[in-house]
């Protein structure tokens, strides 16, 4: 029920008469049987209709204001001093700013300062051929690789491969310009009526079918196979054929490196049928080392599986699991 203005004023006046300070104090002293004082706020300020009185018990206030019987003394300077042998914390030097140079922080928002340079190779979208190469490499590490394919990971060591390629470069086949010049000289000689003696040069043979034919005819003295032929099925049978025909063979890194010798982009297989007399001693040493590393180890290589190498996270989990199992086994033994 809503009161009128006159009723509200009358009610407020009655409430103000009731809140006289002295009668309230007398009533409270009789009830509690101890002296009671009103707060200064109530004594000095007029009472409000909506604000209750704040009454303070003088006996409890005296207890709060009295000091404690056994006060805790403040820590002395000796206690606050650092212990011997412990370095005191170094005081930070305050930076002295020069008022001539104003601080201008960079804003890296749109249209602002350029961000600092960093390596963004992680965020690069690599070409599809690069992604396939990397995925193939990871899969070959993770999956179990049969021995016939795993033998292509065991390549010729660097020093021996360097000597071999030096030898092969001496027997490079002629390129187009050299062939054109040779045929031109031959044609000029025939036009003049001279007899031209054609001597077959000793060069490196290439081409998978041609090299296979030379191996079957026992004409090949050395076969060089690339390790990264794709698809690998093209040359996966070649080591077995070389061993059967007792032809020295080796696996080297890089079909592109073999291709450079014969003026091609890539070459899967190269073959030497003969060498010059001045190179026979060096060639025999290379053949002996190659036989020791490949032909003599064929039985060992054809039984050795590859792959099965997990990532760093999987290896860490397996190591932790094995550690727990070893600990349990040791507890059982004890």
pLDDT digits (tens, 9 = 90+) for 32-46: 666 655 554 445 555
Q: What percent of the chain has pLDDT over 90?
A: 48
Q: Residue 313: its pLDDT value, please?
A: 93
Compute the average pLDDT of residues 267-293: 93
Question: pLDDT digit string (tens) for 60-95?
Answer: 555 555 555 555 666 665 555 666 666 777 777 788
Q: Where are the alpha helices (DSSP H) in the chain?
A: 5-18, 21-32, 40-44, 58-65, 77-80, 128-142, 147-150, 158-170, 176-191, 208-216, 238-244, 255-261, 280-290, 298-301, 312-333
Distance CA 33, CA 51 (A): 26
In whole angstroms, give the CA distance from residue 132 to residue 307: 18
Alpha-carbon span 304 to 205, nearest angstrom: 31
Q: What is the pLDDT of residue 50?
A: 47
Phi-psi region of 31 (alpha: psi -120 to 50; beta: other; left: phi over 0): alpha
Among the residue ranges 11-15, 140-144, 149-153, 164-168, the one predicted with the least confidence is 11-15
Question: What is the C-alpha separation between 191 and 64, in angstroms, rounded?
Answer: 134
Structure token digits, residue 285: 């040493």
Q: Is 125 helix (H, G, I), strand (E, B) or coil?
A: coil
User: What average pLDDT does the segment 126-132 reach?
Assistant: 94
Query: Which pTM does this prediction carry?
Result: 0.58
Spatial separation of the C-alpha atoms in residues 74 and 159, rounded to whole Å: 80
Distance of CA 257 to the CA centre of its chain: 30
pLDDT digits (tens, 9 = 90+) for 149-203: 999 999 999 999 999 999 999 999 988 888 888 888 888 888 888 877 778 888 9
Q: Which residue has the tokens 């990871």?
A: 138
**What is the rounded average pLDDT for all residues in the chain?**
81
What was the pLDDT predicted at 312?
Answer: 92
Length of the chain: 334
Angle at 76 between CA 75 and CA 79, to 5 degrees: 85
User: Helix and strand tally (H, E) in the chain?
Assistant: 15, 8
pLDDT, average across residues 210-219: 94
Least confident of 5-14, 18-27, 131-140, 272-281: 5-14
Q: What is the pLDDT of residue 240?
A: 93
pLDDT in tens, 227-269: 999 889 999 999 999 999 999 999 999 999 999 999 999 999 9
């Amino acid at each position: 029920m809503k009161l009128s203005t006159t009723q509200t004023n009358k009610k407020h006046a009655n409430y103000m008469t009731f809140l006289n300070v002295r009668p309230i104090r007398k009533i409270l002293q009789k009830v509690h049987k101890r002296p009671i004082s009103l707060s200064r706020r109530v004594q000095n300020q007029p009472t409000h209709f909506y604000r209750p009185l704040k009454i303070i018990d003088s006996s409890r206030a005296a207890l709060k204001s009295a000091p404690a019987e056994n006060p805790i003394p403040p820590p002395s300077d000796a206690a606050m001093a650092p212990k011997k042998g412990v370095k005191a914390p170094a005081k930070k030097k305050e930076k002295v700013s020069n008022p001539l140079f104003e601080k201008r922080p960079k804003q890296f928002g749109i249209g602002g300062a350029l961000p600092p340079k960093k390596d963004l190779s992680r965020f690069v979208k690599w070409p599809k051929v690069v992604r396939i190469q990397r995925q193939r490499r990871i899969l070959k590490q993770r999956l179990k690789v049969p021995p016939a394919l795993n033998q292509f990971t065991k390549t010729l060591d660097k020093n021996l491969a360097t000597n071999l390629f030096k030898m092969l470069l001496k027997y490079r086949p002629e390129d187009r310009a050299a062939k054109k010049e040779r045929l031109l000289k031959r044609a000029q000689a025939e036009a003049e009526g001279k007899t031209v003696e054609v001597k077959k040069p000793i060069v490196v043979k290439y081409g998978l079918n041609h090299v296979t034919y030379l191996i079957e005819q026992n004409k090949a003295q050395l076969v060089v196979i690339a390790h990264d032929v794709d698809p690998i099925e093209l040359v996966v049978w070649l080591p077995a054929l070389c061993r059967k025909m007792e032809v020295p063979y080796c696996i080297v890194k890089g079909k592109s490196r073999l291709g450079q010798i014969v003026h091609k982009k890539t070459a899967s297989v190269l073959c030497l049928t003969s060498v010059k007399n001045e190179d026979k001693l060096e060639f025999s040493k290379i053949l002996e080392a190659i036989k020791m590393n490949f032909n003599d180890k064929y039985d060992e290589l054809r039984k050795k599986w590859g792959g099965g190498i997990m990532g760093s996270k999987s290896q860490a989990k397996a190591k932790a699991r094995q550690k727990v199992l070893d600990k349990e086994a040791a507890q059982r033994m004890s």
